[in-house]
Amino acid sequence: MNVKLKIQKDAVNFAFIDLDWNFHICQIWFFHKNSLLLEHESGATINFTPLESLKRVRNEKLDIRVSCSDEWRESRPKDKTEEKLKPFDWTFTTDYQGTINEKFIIEKTDKKIDKFKLMLKENILFYGDLTLFEDELHDNGTSVSSVKIRVMPSGFYILLRFFLRVDNVLIRMNETRYHWETDNDYILKEYTSKEANYDQLKHVPPALYISPNEISEHLPVKEHMNEILRFH
């Protein structure tokens, strides 16, 4: 497996316009040069890019409101308010799982990634951590899409994560994991979507809310899917 990783540390903050979003103009930290590409000798590829992640954001109206939203509505003329509230997911929630080309044979499976194997001590041949996009939701929380890769003698492990925290409202996490072992002719893929509102997290110390790794185990699973990506 030939692994290529491109890293650009400088972010570009700009007005992003996409026809699929009905010309919504969004200010967001968009790391446009960050990408992770995995390529097999058969031509099979898995790619992770900021643009493809953002393309999975829904262009529909949300029921989620922050504490200041009612005050903002009341302070605006009605016609201006309606203009501002066109359907748009302002949390930038994405269910992006990576871009997989047609060279893979994809099968549903009950196999699971062996987390105990991943906990075994191994030499780390390569490690990369890329932010795809990030937004502070006008100081009402955080919305981050990122991808990490760890390459070991036994194979590689990838974690693609979308983490959303809307302060005093909810926490949401969409995670896609990939694990390939050198003896296998396939990659195991797991997708999990979790979510909880703040009322469901009253038993959890607030200090954990800002840590995706810590809060993850406290979030109920909403969706789970396992797949095998088999090389031709």
Q: Say whether pLDDT at 6 is over 50.
A: no
Q: Which residues contact 43 (CB under 8 A, 6 or more apart)?
A: 101, 103
- Its pTM stands at 0.83
Q: What percent of the chain has pLDDT over 90?
A: 58
> What percent of the chain clears pLDDT 70, i.e. is strictly above it?
75
Neighbours of 91 (CB within 10 A): 23
Spatial CA neighbour of 57 closest among 131, 140, 175, 145: 145
Structure tokens at 15: 């007005």
Alpha-carbon distance 215 to 205, whole Å?
9
| Distance between CA atoms of residues 93 and 64, nearest Å | 12
pLDDT band at 51, cuts 50/70/90?
A: confident
Compute the residue count for the chain: 232
Quick count: other Cβ atoms within 10 Å of Cβ 27? 11
CA–CA distance, 107 with 230 (Å, rounded to integer): 8
- CA distance readout (Å), 42 to 45, 133, 154, 184, 195: 9, 31, 20, 14, 38
Q: How far apart are CA 122 and CA 164, in angstroms?
A: 32
The string of pLDDT tens digits covering residues 139-163 is 889 999 999 999 999 999 999 999 9
In our burial notation (b when 16+ CB lie closer than 10 A, e otherwise), range 135-148 reads bebeebbbbbbbbe
